[in-house]
Amino acid sequence: MVKNCCEAYRLPFIHPSRNTYSRLEDHYNILDIAGFAGQGTTVYQPQINLDGRCFPRFSNLSEIWGKGAEYIALFANVLLGVLSDHYFNIILTPDDTGRTNEQIEIYYADEAAPGED
């Protein structure tokens, strides 16, 4: 899970269909010596289904967030995702050898977003 936030190099091989619209060159690395790393993308264009519907976006965002998104790993066990229509946090808690619990919270720009419509 942590590698998903830290690198995009796997996209062409692990997610070839996603790589058609979110290519490796559409991503950038976020590196710091203070205990975190991540990646960003410049082509985030979410839609719920093929008819083009999408979640409402946060208001008053700068232009960079029109298609931008960033995913950060705060070492050793917190993951953050910041996108124009939602953000999330994931806390990873080791449970046993080879087993980790993930506690996930997702926050949408509009409280109606997770509804049936």
Residue with tokens 């979110």: 22
Task: Judge whether 68 lies within some domain.
Answer: yes
Task: Judge whether 25 lies within some domain.
Answer: yes
pLDDT computed for residue 112 by the predictor: 79
Contact call for residues 111 and 80 (beta carbons, < 8 A)? no
Task: Judge whether 117 lies within some domain.
Answer: no
pTM of the predicted model as reported, rounded to 2 decimal places: 0.82
State whether residue 18 is helix, strand or coil. helix
Residues 31-57, mean pLDDT to the nearest whole number: 84
Q: Is the pLDDT of residue 81 over 80?
A: yes
Task: Judge whether 45 lies within some domain.
Answer: yes
Task: Judge whether 104 lies within some domain.
Answer: no
Task: Judge whether 22 lies within some domain.
Answer: yes
Strands (E) across the chain are located at: 27-31, 36-41, 69-74, 78-82, 86-96, 99-108
Q: Exposure of 5 by Cβ count < 10 A (0-12 exposed, 13-18 middle, 19+ buried)? A: buried
Q: Dihedral of CA 34/72/105/62: which sign?
A: positive
Domain range enclosing 55: 2-99
For the chain, the domain total comes to 1
pLDDT computed for residue 10 by the predictor: 67
Task: Judge whether 109 lies within some domain.
Answer: no
